[in-house]
A = this chain, B = another copy of it.
Amino acid sequence: MTRYGFLGPVGTFTQAALAGWPAAKGREQTAFSSVDKALAALREGEIDAAMVPIENSVEGGVSATLDALHTGDPLTVVGEVLVPITFVLAVRPGTTRDDVRAVGTHPHGWAQVRGWMGSELPDAVYVPTLSTAAAAADLAAGLVDSYQAAVCAPVAAQGTGLQVLASDIEDRSGAVTRFVLAARPGELPEPTGADKTTVVVYQYDDHAGGLLELLEQFAARGINISRLESRPTGDVMGRYCFSIDFEGHVRDARVGEALTGLRRVAADVRFLGSYPRADGQQASIQLTATDDAFADADRWLADLRGERTH
């Protein structure tokens, strides 16, 4: 892959995520103004991969990404990146804290620094902007006079030449956002033993216990679900599909069997990829669900069926 896209503008956490993907280094990197646009460009072949936020992003985008990935031509997730979310208070060189009467940032960014602001700059007025990166860029470019400081990602301050007055100003430390790298279907990443698979599952109808039935397909093969979200199908209010991440790779025996089980009992299953986990944590596989356990059971069944002669 030589052409990468990301949810822009330059200076967002998504660019930081792309910076954390070694293979993208030195490659063409294009910023898109929305997840939809980045994925459209990917589907149309203008780029080869797109880095988009999928969970807990300060820039928004979770639901948009989930929906955009499984609507339209098939796309596959080939990797994920976790980015620690941390904010700085950035100003034009020369500005001091006392000069700051108003602060510009995206509402999601503001939500995460309100505590700090309340105690450190209690009199500062909040000015909403379209993104944290835009707050920084516009400030640096001298385009605004409604605020004197921007709350943004460290990378945005660096990239625009702003000065950092305060770092790590987020109220809750340890927050991370999860990004995924989407590509057109092609070669699967090889299993690593620490993999994750993402699917979207559509139910036939919405009866009591319907979701239970889907989840039993995982439980019957000892598979751990790591994320589950109902998403509206867009048809009528109250109809849902389920976006699900679970441990393991499509080439693992237990995962393959669970997927065929879902395929049978669900109205539809969209496979969105198997890829190495960003945290490298090995899957916790019960002894009854290893590839060996499946192979042993398959040999036993072949014997029962009289399919083996040796």
Given the known A-B contacts A60-B60, A296-B263, A301-B260, are A306 and B215 also in contact in the complex, defined by CB atoms under 8 Å? no
Contact of A250 among B227, B263, B304 (CB under 8 A): B304
Q: Which residues of A contact B (CB under 8 A)?
A: 33-34, 36, 55-56, 60, 62-64, 82, 107, 111, 128, 130, 172, 174-176, 178, 187-188, 206-209, 211-212, 215-230, 232, 234, 236-238, 240, 250-251, 256-257, 259-261, 263-265, 271, 279, 286, 288-289, 293-294, 296-298, 300-301, 304-306
Contact of A216 among B174, B216, B257, B300 (CB under 8 A): B216
A45 to chain B, nearest CB (A): 19
**Inter-chain contact B271/A304, CB cutoff 8 Å:** yes
Q: Residue of B at shortest CB range from A131?
A: B128
Output the residue of A222, A237, A288, A305 with the most chain B CB within 10 A: A237
**What's the Cα separation between A208 and B289 when bound, in Å?**
12
User: With contacts A209-B215, A212-B219, A228-B240 known, what are 13 further pairs, Cβ within 8 A?
Assistant: A82-B237, A175-B234, A188-B304, A208-B286, A211-B215, A212-B212, A216-B216, A217-B220, A220-B220, A227-B230, A229-B229, A260-B298, A264-B289
**Inter-chain contact B63/A300, CB cutoff 8 Å:** no
Copies of the polypeptide in the assembly: 4
Q: Kindly list chain B residues whose C-beta atoms are within 8 Å of the C-beta of A264.
A: 288-289, 293-294, 297
A85 to chain B, nearest CB (A): 10
A208 to chain B, nearest CB (A): 4
- A–B pairs, 20, beta carbons within 8 Å: A33-B107, A56-B232, A62-B63, A188-B304, A208-B218, A208-B222, A208-B225, A212-B212, A216-B216, A216-B219, A217-B220, A220-B261, A221-B261, A222-B265, A229-B229, A259-B301, A260-B301, A263-B300, A264-B288, A264-B293
**What's the Cα separation between A224 and B211 when bound, in Å?**
10
A302 to chain B, nearest CB (A): 9
**Inter-chain contact A240/B217, CB cutoff 8 Å:** no
**Inter-chain contact B229/A208, CB cutoff 8 Å:** no
Q: Residue of B at shortest CB range from A256?
A: B301
Given the known A-B contacts A296-B263, A305-B250, are A176 and B237 also in contact in the complex, defined by CB atoms under 8 Å? yes
Output the residue of A220, A286, A293, A294 with the most chain B CB within 10 A: A220
**Inter-chain contact B261/A187, CB cutoff 8 Å:** no
